[in-house]
A and B are shown apart, each in its own frame.
Chain A
Amino acid sequence: MTEPLLRVDGLRTHFLTRAGTVKAVDGVDLRLDRGEILGLVGESGSGKSVTGQSILGLVDPPGRVVGGRVLFQGEDLVGAGEKRLRAIRGRRIAMIFQDPMMTLNPVLSIGTQMVEAVRAHEKVSRAEAWERSRRALARVGIASPDERLASYPHQFSGGMRQRVAIAIALLHSPDLIIADEPTTALDVTIQAQILFEVQKLCRETGTALIWVTHDLAVVSALADRVAVMYAGRVVETGTVAEIIGNPRHPYTRGLLESVPSRNRRGVPLRSIPGMTPSVLDLPEGCAFRPRCDRSSGACTVMPELTGERENRAWRCWNPVAAEARGDAA
């Protein structure tokens, strides 16, 4: 087996708060090959965003990566110094956030910000950096890029701002982009435009992508593989077809059954009872146990990720039976 682009082993990120230790990420394993799109799915508080931030060492105090390894092309980023991380961030691994209004500087023009981003990593002339920014904007489908480079973030619509954020992420043709809910705040037609561009760019440039989201529908349309998170752990991983068509973890199945469009009109949805547990006070063993209809005595011990192969595994003592079935939608 070839060395994957990114390998996350037993990543643990804890927040030491006055109320106690919040184990936001508690033993996450992921692997990602070159050019692959991984959907990292979970509900609020599942630790999906913190996982994305931990990979790049972007967790703010009181949060801290307390264990595990993040191997990026064989190099462990957890132990890497700030200087080394700065060389990687933006250049080899880029990040796109949910709200580009928070990541773009409101008092600098788009051009200034993009030229700065180019020159932070490469010794190129201002004119060359400008030209590269112009091309990056054109590539994400922004019309009249010259004019747009002179504009300020507030002059853009939400969808355009997100395109700019993607263009900035693409400036250095990174090997990996981590996108944290980048289309959640956008309208359906605008979201489709962004997904279209992203899909096209990943195909063209061979950039790998981690798409962090709560939206199963977006993931199923975009990703190659999916990792489902619950209470700080990956509970199931597999290809989109495996996860959507034949979920093995009861939580994944419950999540899928809760999606209205997969149910018959007017029939009550099969929802998961209860609510997400507080990460301050997780139940012993499997965190999903109190909401699970398949739980047994064994579930008081945390199950390991087991499965057919490394990329098709689940963390459950009583997995849902494998079914030979096609699309149930």
Chain B
Amino acid sequence: MTAVPIIELDGLTKRFSRKLDVVERFARRLGAAIDDRAVQAVSGVDLSIAEGEVVGLVGESGCGKSTLGRMVAGILPPSAGTLRWRGRDLRELSPADRHHANLKIQMVFQDPMASLNPRLRVADIVGEAPVVHGLVPRRQAEEYVAATLRQVGLDPAYLRRYPHQFSGGQRQRIGIARALAVKPDVLVCDESVAALDVSIQAQIINLFMRLREELSLTYLFISHDLGVVEHISDRTAIMYLGRIVELAPTPELFDKPNHPYAKALLDEAPRVSVEKRRFAPIRGEIPSPLDPPSGCAFHPRCPHAMPRCSAERPALRAIAPRRWSACHLNETTGP
């Protein structure tokens, strides 16, 4: 790829640390060995997203996928690493340019009931941001909102209604309309279809795909649902405990996953099929990010673990053109 990626993450890291309370601070001053317990939610993620691409981000709870999405959307400041917007470091942009860049990346959340203000009418929820940011004069706001609602398949007659008067699927459409109202280039979708029933979920997935065509949008599509990600994304990244363990074009990754965790995840995701199957689950639980295992974070559960895995953390390396995997096995023998 020669074109400049629309978003480029370089060693993006997020640490959450708990502030010590009074007693702990006092105890520390007296010499007690108390350190602030920090959770490294995202550790050194490199990822570049090309214009118009859909990148799926998959992982189980606590793997840091939402934190990563929030950093990309500009809601959370990264603790370390750089985020480049069209090739330029966000921190080096002038305030006006940074403001513009932030506006171009919008987010769609999981639970529209929690992310839509229950006391605002749809006209205000969707219309507020474009007016504030000067994209539309206030007098034309209503017209503009109506057009945006039509775009996401909602009847503009609903303009005066409140969020609670809508069904779950319609509410998600409002959330999408709100994101689209400021004319973004990139949408970060964090579990945007997870809370919906299957038949409604299909409608919203179709809407995302249609909007991508019509508005040439770029998506970072975060989900725990492998089927959804396989359907919608061009490339898929699999995260485990704060790091990307495998990144590849979607068809290749789903056909032939390389990383043992990716394999386990794909094997164990139940699929609709006529055959009854026996589960052969992988043992153990997802380790706590408070106390991650040494070396490769997956080694305590990995069926192929070697001594090296607990000592040294494997880097994310290219294993084929456009395919990346973080596993020591790729260096010893071909898997």
Contacts and interface: CB of A to CB of B under 8 A. Distances in A.
Given A157-B285, A275-B169, A189 B264 contact: yes
B202 A269 contact: yes
A265 B228 CA distance: 10
A190 B197 CA distance: 22
Interface in B31-72: 60-61
A192 B278 CA distance: 10
B274 A245 contact: yes
A121 interface: no
A257 B202 CA distance: 9
Contacts of B170: 275
Interface stretch (B97-105, B182-190, B265-273, B327-335): B265-273
B320 interface: no
Interface string B249-280: 01100000000000011001111111111111
Contacts of B274: 220, 240-241, 244-245, 326-327, 329
Nearest to B225: A260
Interface in B161-218: 167-170, 197-203, 205-206, 209-210
Given A244-B272, A258-B198, A260-B230, A193 B206 contact: no
A199 B205 CA distance: 32
A217 B226 CA distance: 12
A43 B272 CA distance: 16
A265 B198 contact: no
B277 A221 contact: yes
Contact of A220 (B197, B198, B199, B272): B272
A193 B268 CA distance: 9
Interface residues of A, number: 52
A272 interface: yes
B86 interface: no
Interface in B133-174: 167-170
Given A43-B197, A187-B60, A189-B264, A261 B226 contact: yes
B118 interface: no
Contacts of A193: 279, 281-283
A218 interface: yes
A9 interface: no
Nearest to A222: B276
A196 B279 contact: yes
A294 interface: no
Contacts of B169: 275
Given A221-B277, A258-B202, A327-B275, A188 B268 contact: yes
B251 A188 contact: no
A256 interface: yes
A177 to B, nearest CB: 18
Contacts of A218: 270
B209 A268 contact: yes
Contacts of A260: 202, 205, 225, 227-228, 230-232
B270 to A, nearest CB: 4
Contacts of B25: none
A323 to B, nearest CB: 13
B302 interface: no
B224 interface: yes
Contacts of B268: 188-189, 191-192
Nearest to A273: B203
Given A244-B274, A272-B199, A261 B227 contact: yes
Contacts of B90: none
Nearest to A215: B270
Contacts of A190: 60, 285-286
A189 B249 CA distance: 23
A273 to B, nearest CB: 8
Given A43-B198, A159-B285, A266-B231, A271 B206 contact: yes
A195 B197 contact: no
B264 A254 contact: no
Contact of B231 (A157, A214, A223, A261): A261
A66 interface: no
Nearest to A265: B231
Contacts of B168: 44
Interface in A218-256: 218, 220-224, 240-241, 244-245, 254-256
Contacts of B270: 191-192, 195, 215, 217-218, 220-222
17 contacts: A43-B200, A189-B286, A192-B270, A214-B198, A217-B272, A220-B270, A221-B270, A222-B276, A255-B199, A260-B202, A260-B225, A261-B227, A261-B271, A261-B272, A268-B210, A269-B202, A271-B206
Q: 9 closest A-B pairs (Cβ-Cβ)?
A: A271-B202, A261-B227, A258-B202, A192-B268, A260-B231, A196-B279, A217-B270, A187-B60, A43-B197
Given A188-B226, A275-B200, 19 more contacts: A189-B282, A195-B270, A196-B280, A214-B198, A217-B270, A220-B271, A221-B271, A240-B276, A254-B199, A257-B202, A259-B202, A261-B226, A261-B227, A271-B199, A271-B203, A272-B199, A276-B167, A327-B275, A329-B272
Interface of A: 43-44, 157, 159-160, 187-193, 195-196, 199, 214-218, 220-224, 240-241, 244-245, 254-263, 265-266, 268-273, 275-276, 326-327, 329
